Amino acid sequence: MGEKRVIEEKEEAMAIKKASLVFAVNGERFEISLSSVDPSTTLIDFLRNKTPFKSVKLGCGEGGCGACVVLLSKYDPLLDKVDDFTVSSCLTLLCSIDGCSITTSEGLGNSRAGFHAVHERIAGFHATQCGFCTPGMSVSMFSALLNADKSSHHDPPSNGSSNLTAAEAEKAVSGNLCRCTGYRPLVDACKSFAKDVDIEDLGFNSFCKKGENRDDALKKLPCYDRTLSSTFPEFLKKELKMDTSLDDSRKYRWSSPGSISELQGLLQLDDNGMSVKLVAGNTSTGYYKEEKEKKYERFIDVRRLPELTVVRRDEKGVELGAAVTISKAIEFLRAKESVSMLAKLATHMEKIATRFVRNTGTLGGNIMMAQRKQFPSDLTTILVAARATVKIMSIGSNVQEQFKLEEFLQQPPLEGKSLLVSVMIPSWRPLKNGSSSSSDTRLLFETYRAAPRPLGNALAFLNAAFSAEVSLNESRDGVVVTDCLLAFGAYGTKHSHRVRKVEEYLVGKVISDEVLMEAIGLLKDEIVPDKGTLNPGYRSSLAVSFLFEFFGSLATNGLLNGCKENGFGSLKHEAMLSSAQQIVEIQEHSPVGKGIVKAGAKLQASGEAVYVDDIPSPKDCLYGAFIYSTMPLARIKSIRFKENRVPEGVIGIITYKDIPKGGTNVGNKGFFASDLLFAEEITHGAGEIIAFLVAESQKLADIAVNLVVIDYDTEGLEPPILSLEEAVEKSSLFEIPASLQSKPVGDITKGMAEAEHKILGSKISLGSQYFFYMETQTALAVPDEDNCMLVYSSTQAPEYVHRTIAGCLGVPEHNVRVITRRVGGGFGGKVMKSMPVAAACALAATKMQRPVRTYVNRKTDMITTGGRHPMKITYSVGFKSNGKVTALDLELLLDAGLSEDISPLMPSGIQGALMKYDWGALSFDVKLCKTNAVSRTAVRAPGDVQGSYIAEAIIEKVASYLSIDVDEIRKVNLHAYESLKLFYNKKAGESTEYTLPQLWEKLEAFSGFSQRRKVVDEFNASSKWRKRGISRVPAVYGVGLRLTPGRVSVLSDGSIVVEVPGIEIGQGLWTKVKQMAAFSLGLIQCSTTSDEILEKIRVIQTDTLSMVQGSVTGGSTSSEASSEAVRICCDGLVERLLPVKTDLVEKTGGPVTWDSLISQAYKQSINMSVSNTYSPDSHSAQYLNYGVAASEVEVNILTGETTILRTDIIYDCGKSLNPAVDLGQIEGAFVQGLGFFMLEEYLMNSDGLIVTDSTWTYKIPTVDTIPRQFNVEILNSGHHKNRVLSSKASGEPPLLLAASVHCAVRAAVKEANKQIQTWSDSQQEADLSFDLPVPATMPVVKELCGLNVVEKYLDWKIKQRKNI
């Protein structure tokens, strides 16, 4: 009977399995009927909508940011082995995880079961700010730990660390994006697990103090228990040991055939025209996003086909199945250490996408994207160079054909009934007919790529791979090319290909400068980017650079000299990130002044922190997506769907016509004129919102929006204004209120007359920058009784969102309630731009009388939110022969877009930061241009970052004109206190507050600036193809405080609730507020300490009906203003409690605890809630912040790549309220500034529509682009009587210091130009007064060094030899 029962159970389990998907999430079993599942459903859709696990965040939907990363574990019953790896859940199809176990960040640990050591160390290393990206970071770190311990042959160290190395720790999060932290603390948190890291070398943390005994310090680190790491559920193991094949896969829309014959059967079913998609990793949908929207009737998973999963090596070479993942291929190729070509292929493959994409993306998928859709593939280029072939099978006939990969790529797109089976990389041996002896023969193989990010996660501008057989010639004084293969791709060509004319020319030649020059000429004829490719000249020049780098050393008989004597040596990325922080923790007002862990940090790391889109959808909830204009100025004739067919799930389209009676078409009620919510008859800008489509799910809404057709008409309309010059010509300008207009300083005429030199009419241009908050714009509107509306909004300005919604709906403001708990990054973008998002949801909810929410997709967010103000600057400057400026006259044109937004505030920000130098006299004229583009808005340090850079550009120009060192020019133009007062008036404060000269000198010692300049000079004298630059830059940043309310309430058990209008956007506002409340309530001096009171405090979400007059969280002062408001409230409570305490002491005769004090106060019916307002006076409302940074860079002249070797910052925080929080703000702001100055291009098409609208085209800084050494000192500048407990702001000012990197790059390019000039026949000196554009991307830097620098060098060498 028992045996029969077992058989029955097995059969029953098999029956269930055959018709269902079974998998685990965080150990919990899920079973879904295959007949009910939509096979296009992604894992993130399922996790966020069908499970309680919300740690998985949608950041981009492209596999480009890492916010949605989860750990996927697969069990092999035959080997009894679990394979764990990260995947991007936004690309992974739900059906593909059958039999797998998924672990999210809350599955690693949480507040109920206990946090994981990864969470605790992220919190303790102060490595989270807004926290939106942190769960993905946690999973990436955990996966690195898990796999380091699995792959290592050594036992893990016994001290609670792992077998992870520091180099692996850096790479662990290299694919994850973070806009807040600047990455350094995240890397340190991960490195704290590494076996080869000294805790002393890591950054400021809450576990160990500098100088502490290493063993004692390690004991304080949260212990990493690797025994808890293997989490594959036993129930899944049991089920996987049974037969898991589907009974009849033809019944379902998802099939997973186990053989080619089964696949043939499935495809024959579909001969009637049924649309079929063959899938493996599905990662192509990250790039070809339209694939997600196609309706396929059947998905066929090819990963179980044995022919497609082969991994084999024999004497003929290596064969890799098409369904082998890129990560598995890397692992296999790298295992063959004896074959350097295979190892080099593996190293290059590591730069494809990110680890969590490579883990599921397949070789075949990548090749097919290149073959069918001309994807700019790295893989195909390096495989062409490795002489790879591919096997293609015709599924109907089972016939297999073999093609050279290059031939296959150039064939017509492979049909659906043919299958890429495998890739063969042949063994490479010298040609047998070579005349040289084998000892003189070398096989050379190298791969190259130039991309914005060194470690990958960026498409290449050009990639290349070369193989060559070379040997010494008969006289043994030269190197002959016996054979070569040169492959190029991704430069704006359809496919990777060989340059055969160059190959044919080189074969049989002795490599010389003359031969190289001839080869380069042939190469330039072949490498011609297609029309419309960005930076075509740059891409062609890269081909020349890489060819020269490969063969150049051979021209000097490099075969005998190790082939690397030409100065091409590259920086190894094993040169690890390092940092040093000098921080003073002040005990005077404890716990204020301490670097305590940020409130909610562990919740953010585990993914339990709730953001707006994490709030469960109410019953009958609908979802919205915005329809925006693609024309700059046009009449809107109609809005319809393609084929006039309403897409699935669409409920309706909301336009301005749906605004209720009494309401107005208002999208924001901000500081100046209100904007429209929806364009009306005419759209005035590409990217302007036209309508709001409402559907039954966010996925259906996003799909339907792309099926909308807008019919436009431009007849009778003026041409759109798309340039600043057109706006001025047509007087299309916004008025700047008199109080905000720029004020001249001194007598400009007199200053110019005193000048000994003048530069007249010089010009500067600055582009835009996108916020790139990790959480895009989002809101949820829920209709309530009596015509009321509850709105959850991700905003920095709940009060203004509230006003906007009330105005739009035409209801009293008391009918609207806006709640904001936290925001997943703002940077100014969630002030004005959050208002129309919330208003649209509220309007739709009013019309539908159902809850409506939206989570704006990344592309729409990038197109509709505007970003920083582009501007053009014309200036004239007069100065003395020593570089002292006597007068500066500026004219600025700012592109405000189609409405004012915050633009009238910009001139004061620009002028404020510009005045960091003593210009003698300053004249300043600004025009706010109204153009047919999306309204520009506040982006972190709005106006100030541009003003500070303009100042540096002028100083650099003066230095070049006079041929004086630019650091001397900066120093001579720094303010004395008297000139500071002249320029800044009251903001200048007392003379003791002006710390900039002190910081300037202090940085000299802190960074070893003078000595390092000499080292840089020595390096530049000896290095031909890499040049270094170093620069020191000051920043002055004015801030203002606003009226700020607060409320502190003590509950009956002694716990404390604090309300402030300031929004926690990652800047640590809640943390500082809690510290201030604990300090202030601690003044009651009961036996409970302030640190103990701190544990009793909770700061709660902002509610506009509870906390009115909340204003805006921005301008860097909301934390200190909120803290001061709370301090005032606490003083009121202390005043009420002191008599109670006195009575208790008299009665008991002993110390009084906080809890007993509060209990007694409640018994006496004392009001334990105090509301009050901080209203700054004229002395405390405004002040200046100071900082100085020195940065050193290395520029590769051949590619334009910049590596930031080191940055040192000294920043005056006054007496920091929390130095750990302020340190994070300083580093994060600097790195965001780095993006503006070096990386981020926010480009528009000819209609003004943003085209850099994805993670593929818009590149923010990553771990591999920040300074390799990043040192920060927070100066404790002592008592400031008009500041909040002597503290100063830190959120925005440090962003300005990133200009030091840009200036250092200019210095390096200057050195390159000096050297290149020596290769010229011309007696002219190099032009060193050039302007380096912003951002100084690789193409920009290379162009300034010279696109033909290699040709110049070779030509010079040839002529030199002839002259000898």
State how far the Cα of 179 lies from the Cα of 106, in Å rounded to an integer.
Answer: 22
Would you state the pLDDT for residue 160?
66
Under a CB-based contact definition with an 8 Å cutoff, are residues 1038 and 984 in contact?
yes
- And the tokens for 146? 């898990």
Would you state the pLDDT for residue 10?
43
State how far the Cα of 663 lies from the Cα of 668, in Å rounded to an integer.
Answer: 13
Under a CB-based contact definition with an 8 Å cutoff, are residues 819 and 812 in contact?
no
Under a CB-based contact definition with an 8 Å cutoff, are residues 138 and 116 in contact?
yes
State how far the Cα of 268 lies from the Cα of 1262, in Å rounded to an integer.
Answer: 47
State how far the Cα of 166 lies from the Cα of 164, in Å rounded to an integer.
Answer: 7
Does residue 817 sit in helix, strand or coil?
strand
pLDDT tens column, 1074-1124: 999 999 999 999 999 999 999 999 999 999 999 999 999 999 999 999 999
Q: Are strands 462-472 and 788-793 parallel, antiparallel or unpaired?
A: unpaired
Would you state the pLDDT for residue 337?
65
Q: Is the pLDDT of residue 1296 over 70?
A: yes
State how far the Cα of 975 lies from the Cα of 1034, in Å rounded to an integer.
Answer: 11
Would you state the pLDDT for residue 1363?
79
State how far the Cα of 959 lies from the Cα of 1306, in Å rounded to an integer.
Answer: 12
Q: Is the pLDDT of residue 504 over 50?
A: yes
Would you state the pLDDT for residue 398?
80
Which residues neighbour 816 within 8 Å (Cβ) at sequence distance 6 or greater? 788, 789, 791, 802, 805, 806, 809, 842, 1104
List the single range of 395-409, 820-834, 883-897, 1294-1308 with lowest mean pLDDT.
395-409
Q: Give the residue from 315, 486, 327, 354 showing the smallest Cα distance to 66.
A: 354
Q: Is the pLDDT of residue 383 over 90?
A: yes
Q: Is the dihedral of CA 1112, 1118, 1121, 1127 positive or negative?
A: positive
**Position 756, amino acid:** E
**pLDDT, average across residues 498-508:** 97
State how far the Cα of 1089 lies from the Cα of 1078, in Å rounded to an integer.
Answer: 9
Q: Give the residue from 586, 592, 596 showing the smallest Cα distance to 1082.
A: 592
Element (H or E) spanning 1032, and its range?
Answer: strand 1026-1040
Q: Is the pLDDT of residue 992 over 80?
A: yes
Mean pLDDT, the chain, rounded, equals: 93
The burial of 1330, by beta-carbon neighbours within 10 Å (0-12 exposed, 13-18 middle, 19 or more buried), is given as: middle
Q: What is the DSSP letter of 1075?
A: H
**pLDDT, average across residues 963-974:** 97
**Position 65, amino acid:** C
State how far the Cα of 894 lies from the Cα of 216, in Å rounded to an integer.
Answer: 57
**pLDDT, average across residues 620-624:** 98
Query: Please, which residues bridge with residue 712 across strands?
Result: 636
Give residue 156's pLDDT band: very low, low, confident or very high (50, 70, 90): low
State how far the Cα of 1005 lies from the Cα of 1001, in Å rounded to an integer.
Answer: 7
List the single range of 996-1005, 1184-1193, 1318-1327 with lowest mean pLDDT.
1318-1327
Within 1041-1177, strands assigned E span: 1044-1050, 1056-1059, 1097-1099, 1102-1103, 1169-1174
Alpha-helix residue ranges (DSSP H) falling in 488-631? 500-506, 513-526, 536-551, 601-606
Name the pTM for this structure. 0.96
Token pair 């967010």 is found at 861
Q: Give the residue from 1116, 1040, 1046 showing the smallest Cα distance to 1080.
A: 1046
Q: What are phi and psi of 656, to 5 degrees?
A: -60, -25
Q: Are strands 1269-1275 and 28-33 parallel, antiparallel or unpaired?
A: unpaired
DSSP string across 326-344: HHHHHHHHHH-TT-HHHHH
Would you state the pLDDT for residue 154?
67
**How many separate helices (H) and strands (E) can be counted in the chain?**
41, 42
Q: What is the DSSP letter of 999?
A: H
DSSP string across 284-320: GGGTSTHHHHS--SEEEE-TT-GGGS-EEEETTEEEE
Under a CB-based contact definition with an 8 Å cutoff, are residues 184 and 1271 in contact?
no
Q: Is the pLDDT of residue 1303 over 90?
A: yes
- And the tokens for 737? 């209120």
The burial of 248, by beta-carbon neighbours within 10 Å (0-12 exposed, 13-18 middle, 19 or more buried), is given as: exposed
Would you state the pLDDT for residue 229?
63
pLDDT tens column, 767-810: 999 999 999 999 999 999 999 999 999 999 999 999 999 999 99
**pLDDT, average across residues 1011-1027:** 97
State how far the Cα of 231 lies from the Cα of 233, in Å rounded to an integer.
Answer: 6
Angle between helices 536-551 and 513-526 (to 10 degrees): 150
State how far the Cα of 990 lies from the Cα of 1214, in Å rounded to an integer.
Answer: 13
Distances (CA, A) of 695 to 295, 456, 623, 1094, 1174: 17, 37, 5, 46, 45
pLDDT tens column, 1223-1268: 999 999 999 999 999 999 999 999 999 999 999 999 999 999 999 9
- And the tokens for 973? 């133009």
Would you state the pLDDT for residue 108?
95
**pLDDT, average across residues 1303-1310:** 98
Q: How far apart are the first and last CA of the chain?
A: 101
Would you state the pLDDT for residue 675?
93
Would you state the pLDDT for residue 396?
77
**pLDDT, average across residues 810-830:** 98
**Position 810, amino acid:** G
pLDDT tens column, 876-898: 999 999 999 999 999 999 999 99
Give residue 16's pLDDT band: very low, low, confident or very high (50, 70, 90): very low
The rounded Cα 297 to chain-centroid distance in angstroms is 36
Element (H or E) spanning 699, and its range?
Answer: helix 698-705
Q: Are strands 317-321 and 418-426 parallel, antiparallel or unpaired?
A: antiparallel
Q: What is the DSSP letter of 557?
A: T
pLDDT tens column, 204-252: 999 988 777 777 777 889 988 876 666 799 999 998 887 555 556 667 8
Would you state the pLDDT for residue 566?
42
**Position 67, amino acid:** A
Give residue 338's pLDDT band: very low, low, confident or very high (50, 70, 90): low
- Sheet with 317-321: strands ordered across: 311-314, 317-321, 418-426, 389-394, 399-404
**pLDDT, average across residues 820-835:** 98
- And the tokens for 1150? 């002993």
Q: Give the residue from 944, 936, 883, 890 showing the smallest Cα distance to 913.
A: 944
- And the tokens for 281? 């990793």
Distances (CA, A) of 998 to 308, 392, 952, 993: 66, 70, 20, 11
Three-state SS across 1203-1236?
A: EEEEEEEEEECECCCCHHHHHHHHHHHHHHHHHH
Does residue 1040 sit in helix, strand or coil?
strand
Under a CB-based contact definition with an 8 Å cutoff, are residues 93 and 40 in contact?
yes
